[in-house]
Amino acid sequence: MKRLCAPSWRLWSCRDAEFPAAIKVYLCTVPCDMRRSFDGLSMLAEHVIGCNPYAGHLWLFSNRRTDRVKILYWDRDGWAIWYKRLEAGTFQFPFVETGRKEIAAWELAVLLEGIDLSQGKRRKRYSLPAAKQEEEREKAGKETGTS
């Protein structure tokens, strides 16, 4: 597992990340245009979510179809964006008129893994065809020296 320490942490993989306790995760509960980049998303963080975008927290944005997610954060000396587009399925994203919802870091990990907390079940995700998965396993076995 990757260890992250504030304020110089970097979000490389949400699946492996451990966030400091001081990090807050804010969802923008209004669908966003995924063409927005650093300035547009930071403006949404400030005016729609109502938070200081330079605070070092994570701001999560999704499109109307909920198949894309962007995470914006300030990293010591500039903006960083983590972007995920699903090949199949959707994220369980709560769209409401309030503009923001604060969630825990573990809930972010669960949301990105496709688990629907309201129903307690995993949502549909893309997976490689069986032949391709077998090739990947064989390739991994050769790299580690096992077969």
φ, ψ for residue 114 (rounded to 5)?
90, 20
**Average pLDDT for residues 96-124, to the nearest whole number?**
79
**Average pLDDT for residues 116-120, to the nearest whole number?**
71
d(Cα 55, Cα 67) in Å, to the nearest integer?
27
Residue 88: predicted pLDDT: 92
Residue 11: pLDDT band (50, 70, 90) is: very low
Mean pLDDT of the chain: 79
